[in-house]
Amino acid sequence: MEDPVCFGRQDRNGVHVKKLLAIAAAVAGILLYRKAQESEARKTVWSQSTDSVE
């Protein structure tokens, strides 16, 4: 039979891992969003710079 104290520790470690994964996913999402915004801004500037003069 497993020791309840050890089982509790394993459960808390699992919770900590889940929290770290959630934080890592949130940070990755923020970084991807910023990268997409930067890419779109560069694309807009490039389009305006290379637009034909009328």
Closest CA to 15 of 5, 23, 3: 23
Quote the pLDDT of residue 11: 62
Residue that the structure tokens 């910023």 belong to:
34
For 7-49, how does the pLDDT look when each residue is reduced to its tens digit (9 = 90+)?
A: 555 567 788 999 999 999 999 999 999 999 999 999 999 998 8
Quote the pLDDT of residue 54: 62
Quote the pLDDT of residue 51: 79
| Torsional sign, CA 19, 24, 25, 29 | positive
Instruction: Kindly state the tokens that stand for 4.
Output: 């309840």
pLDDT confidence band for 1 (50 / 70 / 90)? very low
CA 11 to chain centre: 25
User: Whole-prediction pTM value?
Assistant: 0.62
